[in-house]
Chains A and B, each alone.
Chain A
Amino acid sequence: EAGVVQSPRYKIIEKKQPVAFWCNPISGHNTLYWYLQNLGQGPELLIRYENEEAVDDSQLPKDRFSAERLKGVDSTLKIQPAELGDSAVYLCASSLGLAASSYNEQFFGPGTRLTVL
């Protein structure tokens, strides 16, 4: 069974440029998460989807970040414009969701390492 797929794995951009990350979760997983991970830190939740609905986006900086999961499967996270401080690893994760359990383990993708110059 394929795991969570993310692309690109690495991205280098100039500040003020836009950037987009793509995630394809494990088949059948209703819940999808986007996390940000800085060096030496744990993942921090940006947004959580239940199917196509964003149920927790309280930590998403909405002035420059946006996300979508139009058909309840794959998802895109966008930053526009990027700032130097956005350099980090962006992780996508998925889980079965509330329908299966309240204690779902999360399955993570390899992440996209973003460098903003």
Chain B
Amino acid sequence: SQKIEQNSEALNIQEGKTATLTCNYTNYSPAYLQWYRQDPGRGPVFLLLIRENEKEKRKERLKVTFDTTLKQSLFHITASQPADSATYLCALGGFQKLVFGTGTRLLVSP
């Protein structure tokens, strides 16, 4: 069966450092992958999309890589800020359907 793995342990980093979150998957060949941010008590908010034929995407301080051979996506936040503290979800997509991972909580301390 399809499996999406994100680090269940919270990632604690200091302000200014680069945060790197990992999304691994098995038994799936997604057409694209999306990353969402979720704050407590709120719905997920879309951040970035990367297609299966793309290796890397950037948006401001965010960078996503997608390795379909390793079946892995890495999500980077450079120059992290306390306001970046949230849960980050990866979602694998195909045929208008998204399958979400469990999310990784990021804590950025001043």
Contact = CB atoms under 8 A, between A and B. Distances in A.
Q: Majority SS of interface residues in chain B? A: strand
B94 to A, nearest CB: 9
Given A91-B43, A109-B43, A102 B96 contact: yes
B32 A103 contact: yes
Interface residues of A, number: 26
Across the A-B interface, give the 3 residue pairs with the lowest CB-CB distance, nearest first.
Answer: A108-B43, A42-B100, A105-B46
Given A40-B103, A45-B98, A103-B32, 19 more contacts: A40-B8, A42-B89, A43-B44, A45-B97, A45-B99, A48-B97, A95-B96, A102-B31, A102-B95, A103-B93, A104-B96, A105-B49, A106-B44, A107-B46, A108-B43, A108-B45, A110-B42, A110-B43, A111-B42
Interface of A: 4, 31, 40-45, 48, 50, 56, 91, 93, 95, 97-98, 102-111
Interface of B: 4, 8, 31-32, 34, 41-46, 49, 51, 89, 91, 93, 95-103
